[in-house]
Structure 1
Amino acid sequence: MSQGGFRRSWLEWFSSFPACLLLLSVVLFSTSSDIHNQMLRGGEQLWSGYYKLRMDPVKPTCDPDRDVDTVVAEEIRKNETSQDPMAALLGESQVDPAELRVAVERSLEDCRQRHESFENLQGKLTTGVKAYRAVELFIADLIALGLESQRFILVILVMLCAVTATLTRHHIAMRAMETRLDYLVSHALQTVANVMLLGSSVIFRQMSFGADASVSSIELALHNCWIAGFAALTLASLYRLFRVPKDLQAGGDPNKAFMAVPLYTVMCLISGTYFAMIGHASGIGIYLGKMMELSDMFLNVGLYVWVGMMLKQTRLATLVFNVFRPWRMPPEMLAVVAVLVAAVPTAYTGASGIFVIAAGAVIYSELRAAGARRHLALAATAMSGSLGVVLRPCLLVVVIAYLNREVTTDELFGWGIWVFVLTAIMFSAVALTVNRQNGFNLAPASEATAPTLVALKKLIPYVLVIAAVVLFYRLALDVSMDEFSAPRLLPVIMLAILVYEHFSLRRTRKRANPEVNHQGLERSVRSATNDTTAEIGALLLLLGLSVSIGGVIERSHIMGSVPQSFDSVWAAMLLMVVILVILGMIMDAFGAVILVSATVASIAYGSGIHPVHFWMVTLVAFELGYLSPPVALNHLLTRQVVGEEEVLAAQNEQGTFYQRHERIIMPLIAMGISLVVVAFIPLIFYT
């Protein structure tokens, strides 16, 4: 690869390159466990008793050639010469020679077997075994290192990416920074919040040492990592505060300026102030430390974001749209198709917000190119990740099953299919009937079939690449593609697709520019990782502070004012729906699931709501919350990937009230009706 391929900015060397190595290490550590399992099985098949050969056999110290009569005579003599008053008192001074002989014979036989086993193992310990064992033990050590370093990888990844998001102004807020006042207010409050995070972490460290002087070196190192990370984050926000960009507009509206403050900052200020008022200044640090208990889950979120950003670098989304383009579908129908097709990759990218970040720009641009009005395209983009969260192998469902023993992934995914069908029907009905502005004049089948088949043909290599990776893991590592293996398989699949595209387009690239021929793959991975770094920083920091907000709700005993059970299951469900939608409006999905598992779920169970039913309602309610003002997280993420200009242009369009607010109203109608059906119709059948 030419040197040009390694020309990176200082920010890329500082953030995206280390982040790429950290994410690859997570994949490596998780895959090494599969490799190790196969090596153990292979070793046992090649050398019977391989498990005993993993360590050098120790030669027994006993003598197998001792004479039985001599040993028995010695034991009798020892017994006669011993002066044990207790044995005499109990009548045990005499030893039965026959019994003693039997015992000695058994002992010598056992000694001979141990020597035979030692000799046998020594004979099997060939050069091949030693070489195989060396590799297998190295992988075992690698797994142990991965397990020990998992929490450190998460802390470093979160803080590294959070600093990057701050430096690149990429945090998630209600609106973008447009004026100098927006910028100054945002970064000033970010600095205050970061100082709170730093102070809370320092106090938590001191409290840990005060409560228990035997804090392990690992715990100490984790505390130091958090402190160093928040110190760097504070410096980054201070740097940004005093380096005001020149392209910002002068002046500004104070009310709008506060809407430009990142959501994580708002959550930090609320939770930090609350914990300080109750004399628990270390509260934020404690709840952020709880992320370590689920470090594998949060790392999987990072991997899913990376997968999404790599998907964005491929031609896959465009090629899928090309399949439907020949039919000249009206924009409303194409929007339905886009949302339904997006459900599958959404399930494989962990959560709706991640998919919006990954593919939202492509979906929006394709719908606009097909003639969709801006509001319809924005609504479909925001909803593109909402329908697939109930499908296998969505990470959010796995987390629910992990935190709640009352449900299993099979139960949740089984009923999730029916919830998906319902939400798909509701969205289709709303999109195709309410405010439909186009007829259904599809292209004739005779005209559209041939181009569709050509477009499908271009997807065949991608299907083969995906199948090759899945089959390799299945045959070589005995790993099937499911909700547990998806986080480590998907990055490999996306890398394989990028490699395929690099070589498949090699001739085209060479004609256009010989240099690109050597840099396409590297540039694609680098660009994906650049996007990933900023998105992980914005998303995981928001997620961590959502856990802190959950701590505020938990410690304020708000849920204590709610009865722990209801006589009427209908009243309980109505309250659950209201609470869950509100949580979806103000919290990230994973933080909300943790809070609901600890508080609301037990009330639902005690009121007679079936656990599987409750969690299906929870997932739909969360998605409705993510689409509901005032926060509407999925709309914020849509604006982030589509661009502020497009959203402002949509807001300036004229028409009826519905037409002017279609991007908000249409998803609310579809998901609102779905939530009512999912929440209350099943109660008729089991109450």
Structure 2
Amino acid sequence: MEYIPLLVLILSFICLLAIGTPVAWSIVVSATLTLLVSIPMLPALTTVSQRIAAGLDSFALLAIPFFVLSGELMNRGGIARRLIDFAKTLVGALPGGLALINIISAMLMGAIAGSALASASAMGTMLGPEMEKQGYDREFGAAVNITSATTGLVIPPSNILIVYSLASGGASIAALFLAGYIPGILTGFFLMVVAWAWARKKGYRTGERSSVGQVFRTFLDAVPSLLLLVVVIGGIVAGIFTATEASAIAVLYSLVLGLVYREITLDNLPRIALDASATTAIVMLLIGASMSMSWALSYEHIPQEISEGLLGITDNKVAILILINLILLLVGIFMDMTPAVLIFTPIFLPVVTKLGIDPVHFGIIMILNLCIGLCTPPVGSVLFVGVGIAKTSIEKVVRPLLPLFVAMIIALFLVTYIPELSLWLPSLFDL
């Protein structure tokens, strides 16, 4: 009897996804059916509705619409082009230079905009045609763009780290932001190694070597954009403002920058605000729905049962982390990142904390895991954006994607078992 709610939850959710029900509604219906095992229909429906509303009643979540809006402003304000120009002068002369430029630009763009979709869209649109013109396979360019775009979800400011802070019951956002730097850069480095090796094997030509003067000029051009990182992250870590206040400052800064660059006009603002609102609505609906399922899980004591089951198999930290990583990799294939974080954090966090694993470290492990899922079908949003922009198909992109997946998994393995990679920077600031 005690496993019936879990079975109802899993089977109903899988069946609803299989017949094409949107993820948010699949979550809500599954949560309702799970509660119906224990309570009558009217209380179940009322509770789910209340949980959806209560799940959005959080001051920290105000940061998400602001960061989404700042990302839209940056994407249209000429920031991506300046970051690409700077990256070109750094690595353009190396084998596979354009692929390396894509990865570095995506890391910088993701760190500033905090959006994998914005990064994939900007880099794919600007660099894709140029890579093809210089003899790169279209599929290889798409694969590099797709995987590198996810680094911005680990490198702060990141909306998904804010969501994890909410789901974990209070992990410091400032600590999570600092913890993401080294893992995000490490992932980008491994992707660059694979791209460089693939380019040498295929014989892709290199670009011209840049002079010190060119590097300096493009750096100066990119400095106003890069300063946003100093303002936002520096202000949060120094305690000058909260993550929510920082997101509002990011909007103001990116708007002023776009107007100064003359790539955003007042006529553009309604469309930018509308696009940001649409993205925010999707994210918030997923958060509200996921919070209702999290409450249903808690009410039916499912996290405790799973925790006891995992610890009943073994109490070896290495084995438990391998098992959790495998589960999360599988979850990432079938579920979008936001609901996955909100649903599985309450399930796995009690397990790892019993084993002495820091919640901040586990948050970075979880996000890195789910980043891989964004690049895989059937619900990999970044995969679909990257393939669509490159005008190719998923089947053709799979082959160049595989070695890049291996690079991401190696980075995940190192971050999982070397906690200092995540915790060193937060410890420097006593976070």
Bin for the TM-score computed over the shorter chain: 0.7 to 0.9
Name the SS of the counterpart of 2:376 in structure 1.
coil
Match of residue 14 from structure 2? none
CA contact (8 A) 2:307 2:350 kept: no
Name the SS of the counterpart of 2:272 in structure 1.
helix
Match of residue 426 from structure 1? 190
Match of residue 579 from structure 1? 327
Query: Which of 489, 492, 513 is matched with 2:249 structurally?
Result: 489
**Which range moves more in the overlay, 434-443 or 280-289?**
434-443
Alpha-carbon distance in structure 2 between the residues aligned to 1:362 and 1:371: 16
CA contact (8 A) 1:546 1:587 kept: no
CA contact (8 A) 1:291 1:298 kept: no
Match of residue 346 from structure 1? 110
Counterpart residue identity of residue 77, structure 2 = T
Match of residue 381 from structure 1? 145
Counterpart residue identity of residue 305, structure 2 = S
CA contact (8 A) 1:352 1:389 kept: yes
Counterpart residue identity of residue 605, structure 1 = T
Counterpart residue identity of residue 417, structure 2 = F
Alpha-carbon distance in structure 2 between the residues aligned to 1:397 and 1:348: 14
Using a 3 Å threshold, how does the CA distance of structure 1 residues 464 and 358 change in structure 2: closer, same or farther? closer
CA contact (8 A) 2:112 2:229 kept: no
Match of residue 67 from structure 2? 304
Displacement of 1:336: 2.9
Displacement of 1:496: 0.7
| Match runs of 1:137-156 below 5 Å | none
Displacement of 1:489: 1.4
Counterpart residue identity of residue 136, structure 2 = A
CA contact (8 A) 2:71 2:118 kept: yes
Q: Return 5+ residue gaps in structure 2 as ranges.
A: 1-16, 421-431
Name the SS of the counterpart of 1:293 in structure 2.
coil
| Match runs of 1:41-440 below 5 Å | 262-275=22-35, 279=41, 280-294=44-58, 296-325=59-88, 329=93, 332-353=96-117, 355-356=119-120, 361-365=125-129, 367-401=131-165, 404=168, 408-409=172-173, 411-434=175-198, 437-439=201-203
Displacement of 1:402: 5.8
CA contact (8 A) 1:330 1:442 kept: yes
Alpha-carbon distance in structure 2 between the residues aligned to 1:544 and 1:312: 27
RMSD after superposition: 4.1
Using a 3 Å threshold, how does the CA distance of structure 1 residues 460 and 481 change in structure 2: closer, same or farther? farther
Match of residue 614 from structure 1? 362
Using a 3 Å threshold, how does the CA distance of structure 1 residues 309 and 365 change in structure 2: closer, same or farther? farther
Alpha-carbon distance in structure 2 between the residues aligned to 1:383 and 1:470: 25
Tell me the percent identity.
18
Alpha-carbon distance in structure 1 between the residues aligned to 2:279 and 2:128: 19
Alpha-carbon distance in structure 2 between the residues aligned to 1:309 and 1:569: 41
Name the SS of the counterpart of 1:545 in structure 2.
helix
Displacement of 1:352: 3.3
Query: Which of 266, 288, 305 is matched with 1:544 structurally?
Result: 288
CA contact (8 A) 2:136 2:204 kept: no
CA contact (8 A) 2:306 2:347 kept: no
CA contact (8 A) 1:627 1:634 kept: yes
Displacement of 1:487: 0.4
CA contact (8 A) 1:462 1:497 kept: no
CA contact (8 A) 1:267 1:549 kept: yes
Alpha-carbon distance in structure 1 between the residues aligned to 2:198 and 2:294: 38
Counterpart residue identity of residue 495, structure 1 = L
CA contact (8 A) 1:329 1:442 kept: yes
Displacement of 1:521: 0.8
Using a 3 Å threshold, how does the CA distance of structure 1 residues 561 and 600 change in structure 2: closer, same or farther? same
CA contact (8 A) 2:71 2:112 kept: no
Query: Which of 559, 571, 575 is matched with 2:303 structurally?
Result: 559
Query: Which of 493, 496, 501 is matched with 2:261 structurally?
Result: 501
Name the SS of the counterpart of 1:601 in structure 2.
helix
CA contact (8 A) 1:628 1:668 kept: no
Name the SS of the counterpart of 2:281 in structure 1.
helix
Displacement of 1:444: 4.8
Displacement of 1:344: 3.2
Match of residue 406 from structure 2? 669
Displacement of 1:367: 4.1
Counterpart residue identity of residue 297, structure 1 = A
Using a 3 Å threshold, how does the CA distance of structure 1 residues 305 and 663 change in structure 2: closer, same or farther? farther
Displacement of 1:357: 5.6
CA contact (8 A) 1:395 1:483 kept: no
Alpha-carbon distance in structure 1 between the residues aligned to 2:30 and 2:212: 59
Displacement of 1:610: 3.8
The answer as to 2:293 corresponding to 1:533 is no
Higher-RCO chain (CA-CA 8 Å, sequence separation at least 6): 2
Map Cα deviations across residues 483-506 of structure 1 (whole Å, 9 max, x no partner): 55430111111211221133xx8x
Displacement of 1:267: 3.5
Greater C-alpha radius of gyration: 1
| Match runs of 1:504-519 below 5 Å | none
Using a 3 Å threshold, how does the CA distance of structure 1 residues 528 and 391 change in structure 2: closer, same or farther? same
Map Cα deviations across residues 72-117 of structure 1 (whole Å, 9 max, x no partner): xxxxxxxxxxxxxxxxxxxxxxxxxxxxxxxxxxxxxxxxxxxxxx
Match of residue 603 from structure 1? 351
Alpha-carbon distance in structure 2 between the residues aligned to 1:498 and 1:305: 15
Using a 3 Å threshold, how does the CA distance of structure 1 residues 459 and 333 change in structure 2: closer, same or farther? closer
Match of residue 5 from structure 2? none
Match of residue 77 from structure 1? none
Using a 3 Å threshold, how does the CA distance of structure 1 residues 465 and 622 change in structure 2: closer, same or farther? closer
CA contact (8 A) 1:312 1:359 kept: no
Map Cα deviations across residues 524-560 of structure 1 (whole Å, 9 max, x no partner): 2233223223323333323333334444544554434
Using a 3 Å threshold, how does the CA distance of structure 1 residues 627 and 609 change in structure 2: closer, same or farther? same
Using a 3 Å threshold, how does the CA distance of structure 1 residues 532 and 401 change in structure 2: closer, same or farther? closer
CA contact (8 A) 2:83 2:222 kept: no
Using a 3 Å threshold, how does the CA distance of structure 1 residues 423 and 305 change in structure 2: closer, same or farther? same
Name the SS of the counterpart of 2:150 in structure 1.
coil
Counterpart residue identity of residue 567, structure 1 = D
CA contact (8 A) 2:115 2:158 kept: yes
Map Cα deviations across residues 125-170 of structure 1 (whole Å, 9 max, x no partner): xxxxxxxxxxxxxxxxxxxxxxxxxxxxxxxxxxxxxxxxxxxxxx
Displacement of 1:435: 7.3
Counterpart residue identity of residue 492, structure 1 = L
Match of residue 393 from structure 2? 650
Match of residue 5 from structure 1? none
Counterpart residue identity of residue 489, structure 1 = I
Q: How does the TM-score come out when normalised to structure 2? A: 0.74
Counterpart residue identity of residue 650, structure 1 = S
CA contact (8 A) 1:379 1:666 kept: no
Match of residue 68 from structure 1? none
Using a 3 Å threshold, how does the CA distance of structure 1 residues 675 and 546 change in structure 2: closer, same or farther? same
| Match runs of 1:426-465 below 5 Å | 426-434=190-198, 437-439=201-203, 441-445=205-209, 448-449=210-211, 452-453=214-215, 457=217, 460=220, 463-464=223-224
CA contact (8 A) 2:79 2:225 kept: no
Deviating beyond 6 angstroms after TM superposition, the runs of 4 or more aligned structure 1 residues are 468-471
Alpha-carbon distance in structure 2 between the residues aligned to 1:482 and 1:598: 24
Alpha-carbon distance in structure 2 between the residues aligned to 1:414 and 1:563: 29
Displacement of 1:482: 7.8
Match of residue 109 from structure 1? none
